[in-house]
Amino acid sequence: MKKMIWVLVFLLSLPSLIAVGVGEIPISWTEVRSKYNWQKPVLFPESESVDLFESILYSDGRVFLQTRDTTRQTSILVWNLESGESTKLPWKEGRVTGWTECRGNLLVQTAKTLWDLDSKTFSVKRKLSWPDKGKSWQDIVCLDNQIYRLAGNQLEVYNLNSGELESKILLPFPSVQRMTKRSETEVFLISSFWGNSIQVFSPKDQTNVKELKFPVTHRSLFKLVVLPEDRFLIFDPLTKTYGEWIGFGNSIFPLTTSSLEVAAGAKGYRFSPIQNQIEYQFQLTALVDIPETKFHFVLPKENIASQTLREESFGPETGLEVDAAGNRSINLTVKAMKAGDTKDMTVYRALLTRYKIQWNLDPTLNLPSGQTKEEFQSYMLDDWFLKMNSDIVLEKRKTLFEENRNLKEILTKTQEYVSSIPYKSGSFESAPKVIEKNNGGCTEHSYVTMALLRGLGIPSRLVWNYLPTESSKEITFNHKFVEVWVEGFGWIPMEPLAAPRSKPGITHARHVVFAGLSGTNHPKIAGGDRLVQLSKEQLGLAKKIKFKLVVAKLEMENEELEGTEERNLPQKTNRALNSGEDMVVP
């Protein structure tokens, strides 16, 4: 208790240390959750099976599936999404070959009849004679006063009141296998031949509206239905995929295992969080008698869009420092030690939450005009690692951008080009050399990005971070990427080596971000890339002390492991000279 009181007093006495860094724009986030509890596992009856190509039907919190038991008898199973319980309907009107929601009721197709049913009681309100199409499944949807039936590569259009065929529409896609209603004017067209792509089609206009990439396997899409407010439900006993997703523009986000957070004005989205208790565990041994020493530790950045820190505590004899860029470090003072003395201590502890992040960049933004703000001057400078006005960089900039001044297009072309540079563990060569040899490590990819963008007047900075392997129990400083400053958004990531690679402002890697730097060196760290170092005035003691930092990632009951990122990059392991800290620096 005494230790915690000391921490609180310490933090309260330093209000200036929580100031917003250069270019950081405070963003408010609104949480969006599924109305159903997907944390509870779906236990589908083992006695029942479903067919791959048959659709599901949704109505008022219930999912309808046509199932078969071990004797091949068909039934209609109703799954209550609120309670997680299932019941069988006493349906005796023949095998269902298609169904859809229509005007608050349900339309159920059998071989010779179209049944109009009450959605709550499933009682028959009316029935229509229906063209006999045999026993094979054919999706139907209800739009306005018409029924559309998928028949090969065309849609048959029927009158809702009479059931008579009115016209046929040839689809602009081959091999369509599934159709489901998206809205009163649009349908989703699905095919296993297209992978996890969905074509949005307007039957009224007979036009392909757009294509959506859905973040599940293509087989799961055969059990997809659309809910109100552009939400999507998949209930698939075959692939064991159950859950809810939400659409914003052309992007689809999961609501199954966690909430989605939307930035004010829908500027961005963060989702699929992972939460870890982290500890900085520090060990040092005096090889000879040493005087009082001071060490610097780089901490994760606090409360940026892609990560938050809570419940922070600091060990005794430490002091927190925050620079103008929002980079944080702690100073640890260690009393004089005798030869052979060893100390083990926890110098920092926090609850860290990391998110997949996606910024929704404004397509109308252009390059900044006029004089760059003074606060960004250091993020515009040339340096040995950039050489941004060299002939090679100038030629590459001209090839990529020509006279284009649209900021989103420039960032996209930059990301597409840099992500195409093959990964090869590098030797920290300058941007023109990397362009010329067409390979490099993460640091060299970053140099190319900064050289291209700073030369156009776009502030950019080098980010020290951890690119995770979620199975690891430790966090290391093993990676670098670039952040660029965009008006109205702040600093956004340009990550070419982790999914989705070629899209600016988007990364699904859930990095641990330690620092954003205008150059290559951290102001508190001398002699290389690392998270701990002796103070500059005491570097001469490095050979007299053996020290090691482990940033431990502790187990938590609610730690999310969905969507973990396993690195595909080669790794080069370096041991920082005399520090004892194990480094992995691509």
Query: First and final CA of the chain: distance in angstroms?
Result: 42
Q: pLDDT band at 582, cuts 50/70/90?
A: very low
pLDDT of residue 573: 33
The beta-strand segments (E) located in 327-383 are 328-334, 342-359
Instruction: Indicate if the pLDDT at residue 370 is higher than 80.
Output: no
Residue 20's pLDDT is 66
Q: Which residues pair with 243 in a beta bridge?
A: 234
- Grouping H, G, I as helix, E, B as strand and the rest as coil, residue 370 is coil
Q: Is 159 in contact with 145 (CB distance < 8 Å)?
A: yes
What residues contact residue 84 under an 8 Å CB cut-off, 6+ apart? 37, 40, 42, 43
User: 456-491: string of b/e by CB count within 10 Å (b at 16+)?
Assistant: bebbbbbbbbbbbebeeeebbbbbbbbbbbbeebbb
Domains of the chain, by residue range, sit at: 57-256, 357-534+563-584
482-513: per-residue pLDDT in tens? 999 999 999 999 999 999 999 999 999 999 99
Q: Do 57-256 and 357-534+563-584 come out as alike in CATH topology?
A: no
CB burial readout 326-349, b (16+ within 10 A) else e: bbbbbbbebeebeeeeeeeeebbb
pLDDT in tens, 309-347: 999 999 988 999 999 999 999 999 999 999 999 999 999
Residue 578: per-residue pLDDT: 29
Q: What pLDDT is stored for residue 140 in this prediction?
A: 97
Prediction pTM value: 0.84
The CATH class, in words, for 57-256 is mainly beta
Q: What is the greatest pairwise CA distance in the chain? A: 98
CATH class of the region 357-534+563-584: alpha beta
Torsion angle (degrees, nearest 10) of CA 111, 112, 118, 119: 20
380-406 pLDDT, tens digit each:
999 999 999 999 999 999 999 999 999
The backbone torsions φ and ψ at residue 202, rounded to the nearest 5 degrees and listed phi first, read: -105, 105
Q: Which of 133-137, 547-551, 566-570 has the highest mean pLDDT?
A: 547-551
The answer to which of 17-26, 50-59, 336-345 has the lowest mean pLDDT is 17-26
Q: Are 514 and 466 in contact (CB under 8 A)?
A: yes
- Mean pLDDT check: name the lowest of 15-24, 110-119, 221-230, 472-481: 15-24
The three-point CA angle 129-140-135 to 5° equals 65
Structure tokens at 437: 């040899």
Residue type, 14: L
Q: Is the pLDDT of residue 567 over 60?
A: no
How far is Cα 517 from Cα 166, in angstroms, rounded to an integer?
66
Residue 9: predicted pLDDT: 31
